[in-house]
Amino acid sequence: MATYKELKAQLAELESLAAVARQQEFETVLADIRTKVAEFGYTQQDIFGSRRGRPGVAPGAAPPKYRDPVSGATWSGKGRAPNWIKDAKNRDRFLIRE
């Protein structure tokens, strides 16, 4: 039976061989993909879809509607009102106007 030290050495050797094999296959696959993209005229949108890399607000998060003129803190108007606006009778002065 192999010792722990021998098994660790074998594991390190196998990890090294796996890394080399992965790199070789990576280059082959990448070259194949590039060839097919050029041949068929695929675009980034064709491959990854239209939502990839789209900047904007996170799903479910509402854009800010109100801004505190003192601290600059914002609130979307949804959920519990923050302290700086909760007692205001008329919130129009806090509206963000663009």
Residue 24 Cα to chain centre, angstroms: 28
* Burial call 64-93: b when 16+ CB within 10 Å, e when fewer: eebbeeeeeeebeeeeeeeebbeeeeeeee
Domain ranges of the chain: 4-46, 60-98
pLDDT of residue 95: 92
**Extended beta strands in the chain, E state:** 66-67, 74-75
pLDDT of residue 57: 57
Give residue-wise pLDDT tens across range 70-90.
999 999 999 899 999 999 899
Is the distance from CB of 94 to CB of 64 less than 8 angstroms?
Answer: no
Judge if pTM exceeds 0.85.
Answer: no
pLDDT of residue 52: 54
Give residue-wise pLDDT tens across range 2-39.
899 999 999 999 999 999 999 999 999 999 999 999 99
pLDDT of residue 31: 93
Average pLDDT estimate for 91-96: 91
Residue tagged 């090294």 (tokens): 16
Question: Which of 98, 81, 55 minimizes the C-alpha distance to 73?
Answer: 81
Q: Is the pLDDT of residue 69 over 60?
A: yes
pLDDT of residue 58: 64
